[in-house]
Amino acid sequence: MLALSHITNYALSDWLAVFGIDLDVIFGLRVLIQRRQTTLLDSSVYDTRAWIPWFMERQPAGVVQSISPLGQLLAHSEPRRALDLLAPNKGRFLYGLIGEADVYALPTFVPGSIVRADTRRSHGPLPESKSTAEKPFFLVEHEFGCSCSRLLWLGKDRVALYSPQDPCVLRELQLGKEARVLGLVDAEIRPIRNDRDSGSIMDPAILENSRLVPTANLRDLLRNSRIKVGLCFREASSLSHWVADALSDELYFAAPSTLSDYETLAAPPRHIQKILTLCLLYCIDFREFLRASGLPLNREGHDAMPDELALRHVPNDKRRPH
C-alpha cells in the first residue's frame, strides 16, 4: 500500500479506502469501546476530502426552551468537505474518553463521556476557587495511564490527583518523570444512556513495570499502550471479536496467544486488519505504529484521490466540483 502511495502520490489513507478500509470509520469505533481506564482519543482526520453532512441555524418560531430538540434549532444544509471544517488551531485541544474506573473523574463525569482539554492551559495552578468541588479538572497522562482529575499543586514539579468524594485515592506524582498535565478540561459530551458498571477496577498486575518513557520499538509500543488502557490479552481478544463483528471481517479478530506473540516480535502483523485492531484497542496512533514498524512514511503520497476513485460517499448524492 505504501508503495502504491509513493508511486501515484495519492495518500495512503485513500489507497486503503479503495480496498474497503476507511480509517476514519474504523477509528471512530474507539468511542464505542467500554474502557476501565480513561484514554486519549485520536482526533486525526485521515480523509480531509470526505464529505460531511452539515447544518445551518434555523430561526425558531417561538420561545426556545433551555432544553430543546436540535431539530428546532438546526436544519440540513449542503454537505461540506472535512478540510473546510477542521479548526485552524487543531493542536490546541486533546480529547479523552472517561473510563469506568477513573475514580478521580467520577461522579462529576460518567463512563463513556468525551472530554476536551485545552493544551494551552496546562502549566501551573489556576486561581483558587472557594469550593473544593468547583476546582477545575485536568487531563493527566501518568505512568499507569490517563486520568481526568482535579489537581493539588504541591510545588514546582509535583502534583497530586485527588477526589473530594474519596480522599483515600490521593496520588502524588512528579511532573516530567511520572506524569504530564495535558490540558484543562473545558467541555464534555455526555452519553444519553449510561448502562456501564462503574465498579470495575484495574488489575494491579497490568500496571506492573508501566512507566512514562519514550517508546523505542514496536514491541515496547504495543506493551506500553496495552498497559495504559488497562487490558490483558484475554480482554483485548474479546474486544477484537467485537471489532470483527462490527466491521463484518473476521481478520480483525486476534486470539490472546496472537496478541501475546505480537509483543515479542520485531515485525508488524502481515494483515492490515490486525494492525488496525491493535491501534484501535490500544489507542495507538496509526502513523506512530507504522513508524515504530520501520516503514518510510516520508515516501507516502500527499495528493487526494478524486471522489470517484476513492469511493467517497456524498450525502444526498449532491456532488460538487473538486
CB 39 within 8 Å of CB 97: yes
Query: Residue 206 above 60 pLDDT?
Result: no
Tell me the average pLDDT across 75-83.
89
Q: Which of 147, 203, 201 is nearest to 173 (CA)?
A: 147
Q: Give the residue-averaged pLDDT of 275-288.
A: 94
Instruction: Report, at the CATH architecture level, how domain 37-52+76-201 is classified.
Output: Ribbon (2.10)
Domain ranges of the chain: 1-35+204-298, 37-52+76-201
Record the cell numbers describing residue 38, joined without a space.
Answer: 480513561
Instruction: Say how far residue 42 (Cα) sits from the centre of its chain.
Output: 4
pLDDT at residue 233, as a whole number: 96
What is the mean predicted confidence (pLDDT) over 168-181?
A: 90
pTM: 0.80
> What is the residue-wise DSSP string for 137-197?
PEEEEETTEEEEEEEEE-SSSEEEEE-TT-GGG-EEEEBTTTEEEEEEEEEEE--S-----
190 falls in which pLDDT band (50, 70, 90)? confident
CA 220 to chain centre: 20
Three-class secondary structure of residue 308 per DSSP: helix
pLDDT surpassing 60 at residue 198: no
